[in-house]
A = this chain, B = another copy of it.
């Protein structure tokens, strides 16, 4: 990577990827303009993330990747933490209050390491192949309900207008794509009233709206 000033950050994303979606919301909330590079995780060739060139960028063969400040970053939560540490524009995504910051990170991690890995497209494909459709549904119900129940319980202590008090934070960026995925998998979000009320609040925020799958350039092309 050369050291000349980089014009615009580049985000490698897939419209349906929940981890890419988190970063899209963060970039919007921080008012950072960026170039969108679509990576078709469901391409007919079996997924463009497995291409040789893409694998060089991320050996884990996943989106998102963000090129910013002439550095390639992977992993959505570290990317969001980096954006929040280095960009003073837009909203602050991690509170200066250490307890609020911890609570936001805890909710984010319950989703990031406690739910998302079990609903990842490649994992679901494998479970379906090895166990069949019925067991796949059982698997998804188990991990999604357990994770969302945990989030709902945490919210009893942390919720204000959003996940942690009245400011939007990292936790909200993880919650919205997670709930979207849960609905796709037929989980009844009505069972989680606190989560549901936060989602309704966030529906009104333009940075979240702009980050929706249907508003991405690769939507419908697939």
Give A residues with C-beta under 8 Å from B. 58-60, 69, 71, 73-75, 77-79, 81-82, 85-86, 98-99, 101-102, 105-106, 108-110, 112-114, 116-118, 123, 126, 130-131, 135, 139, 146-147, 149-150, 153-154
Contact = CB atoms under 8 A, between A and B. Distances in A.
Chain copies in complex: 2
A74 B86 CA distance: 27
A59 B151 CA distance: 9
A113 B116 contact: yes
Given A78-B109, A109-B77, A60 B114 contact: yes
Contacts of A146: 60
A106 B74 contact: yes
B99 A71 contact: yes
A147 B75 CA distance: 13
Contacts of A60: 110, 114, 146-147, 150
